[in-house]
Amino acid sequence: MLFYRYKDVIEEGDIVMVYIGRQQMKLVNVTLGEVINTRYGHFEHDKMVGKKYGDQMVGAKGYGFIYLLHPTPELWTVSLPHRTQIVYTPDSSYVIQRLNIGPGSRVIEAGTGSASFTHSFARTLGDQGKLFTYEFHEVRCNEARKELERHGLLAVNTTITHRDVCQDGFEIQGEDIRGDAVFLDLPAPWTAIPHLKHVISKEMATGICCFSPCIEQVDKTVAALQEEGWTDIEMVEVMGRRWEARKDMVRDISDVVKRLKDIQARKTQGIEGRRVVKLQSETATPEPNVSYDSGNKRPASTEEDQQKQSESESKEVSPSQQPPSKFQNLGKGFNPFGKGIRVREGDESYAWTQVTKIESDVKSHTSYLTFARNIPTKKQPEENV
C-alpha cells in the first residue's frame, strides 16, 4: 500500500503507523506471525488484519492498547529515524503551497537527508507527477532508497540519485527532467543554482525555495539567484503557533450578582452564628454544688430539679438561636459557574460557547526560506529576408 493512497481495512503487507504514546510511534509492515513488543504489552500482527485504520487494539493479554493509524507524511515526519536535520510540517506545507506544487508537477529536491520532505512531495504529486531527489552522502542515500522502496514511492513517482549536485549538476542520463519547482536543502545552495538552467522547464515559470539556517547563507543565495536571472526574490521565516479550539462557559452579569448576594448572605449567617455562640458562653451560669448518691457516681436530683428539666425540654428552641455545628455541611450555595467543582466540558447543566486560544510562545527558529521565480524567455522567430 502506498503512502498517498487511502483505504479503510488493514490487510497483510500493509503499512500501519502504530501509535504507542504521544512521544512514541512506530511504522510497521503487517506480517503474519510477527509481534510488536511495547511497555504496555505485546500486540500480534495477525489481529491487525481486518481491523480499520484508526481502531484501538488491545494487547494479547487483555491489557494495554495501541492505535492503528493510516501512514501519512506528517506522521512519518514525527516518527522517522533522524539521519539529518529534517523539514517539519509547518515549513513543508508552506513551501508546497508557495511553489504551487500539485498533482502532475515535476519537482527537483536536492538534499534528501532523512526523506521527510520527500514523502510530502511524493504524496502531493500523485501518479502523474515526478520527483527527482538527490543526496550526496552515499550511506544516507542508500538508507533513504530502502525506505522509499519499502513505502512504495520509487515504483510510482520518485527517483533518488546519489550525486553531489554542487559539483556535478542535476542532469540524469536518459531522463528529461523539466522541473517546474526546485527545493534546495544544501549547505551551499549558491553553488548549485548555476546548474539548474539545464534541468528546469523552458515552457513555464519555475519556482525555487532554498532552505538555509543562517542569514549569511541567505545573502550568498540571493546574490547567486540575481546573477542567474531569477526574479521575485523573497526571504520568509515560518514561526509556528498552535491554536486551541474548545468550549468556554457562558457567564451572565445577573448570575454574577446572584452569586455575590449569596456569598454576602452566607457571610452574614456565619457572623450571626458566631455572635450567638459568644453570647451563650458569656451568659452561662456556673453549676451549683451538687451532692452525689452513695451508691453511684451520678448527682442526686430533687423533684424540683426534675420538674425544671422537663419544662426546659418541652420548650421549642428557635433554629436561629441554635449555634451552627462545627462540622455542618453548608454546601456551595448558588454556583452558576461550577467554581470549586469539576465540570465536564459541554455539560448540559451550563451554557457554553465555542472559543479559540493561541499559544503565547512562538516556536523557535528552524531555517530561512528564500523564494524566487525563473521566467523563460521565448525565442523570437527569425524574420525572412
State mean pLDDT over 41-63: 89
Query: d(Cα 165, Cα 137) in Å, to the nearest integer?
Result: 11
Q: Kindly tell me if the per-residue pLDDT of 308 is higher than 70.
A: no
- Identify the pLDDT of residue 328: 39
Q: What angle do CA 62, 65, 61 make, to 5 degrees?
A: 20
Model confidence at 327, in pLDDT bands (50, 70, 90)? very low
Q: Please name which of 153, 355, 154, 150 lies closest in space to residue 251, comparing C-alpha atoms.
A: 355
- Identify the pLDDT of residue 317: 43
State mean pLDDT over 342-364: 78
State mean pLDDT over 21-32: 86
- Identify the pLDDT of residue 309: 54
Known binder of ligand: residue 135? yes
Known binder of ligand: residue 311? no
The CA-based dihedral angle spanning residues 300, 302, 306, 311, taken in that order and rounded to the nearest 10 degrees: -140
- Identify the pLDDT of residue 345: 80
- Identify the pLDDT of residue 159: 95
Q: Please name which of 10, 7, 14 lies closest in space to residue 50, comparing C-alpha atoms.
A: 10
Model confidence at 344, in pLDDT bands (50, 70, 90)? confident
- Kindly provide the residue ranges of all beta strands, DSSP E only, lying in the chain, ordered along the sequence: 15-21, 24-29, 35-38, 41-44, 56-58, 65-69, 106-110, 130-135, 158-162, 181-184, 206-212, 231-237, 243-249, 352-358, 368-374
Domains assigned to the chain: 15-71 (3.10.330.20), 76-242+367-374 (3.40.50.150)
Model confidence at 7, in pLDDT bands (50, 70, 90)? confident
Model confidence at 335, in pLDDT bands (50, 70, 90)? low
Cell of 88: 517539519
Known binder of ligand: residue 46? no
- Identify the pLDDT of residue 303: 56
In tens, the pLDDT along 247-275 reads: 888 877 887 788 788 888 888 888 777 87
- Identify the pLDDT of residue 103: 93
In tens, the pLDDT along 66-87 reads: 999 999 898 888 888 888 888 8
Q: Kindly tell me if the per-residue pLDDT of 113 is higher than 50.
A: yes
Model confidence at 319, in pLDDT bands (50, 70, 90)? very low
Amino acid sitting at position 74:
E
| Averaged confidence pLDDT in the chain | 82
- Identify the pLDDT of residue 324: 44
**Among 75-79, 89-93, 112-116, 281-285, which is the least confidently predicted range?**
281-285
- Identify the pLDDT of residue 320: 46
- Identify the pLDDT of residue 207: 96
User: 381 vs 111, which has greater pLDDT?
Assistant: 111
State mean pLDDT over 94-103: 95
- Identify the pLDDT of residue 251: 78
The CA-based dihedral angle spanning residues 348, 349, 355, 357, taken in that order and rounded to the nearest 10 degrees: -110
**Among 105-114, 194-203, 255-264, 292-301, which is the least confidently predicted range?**
292-301
Amino acid sitting at position 133:
T
Q: Kindly tell me if the per-residue pLDDT of 369 is higher than 50.
A: yes
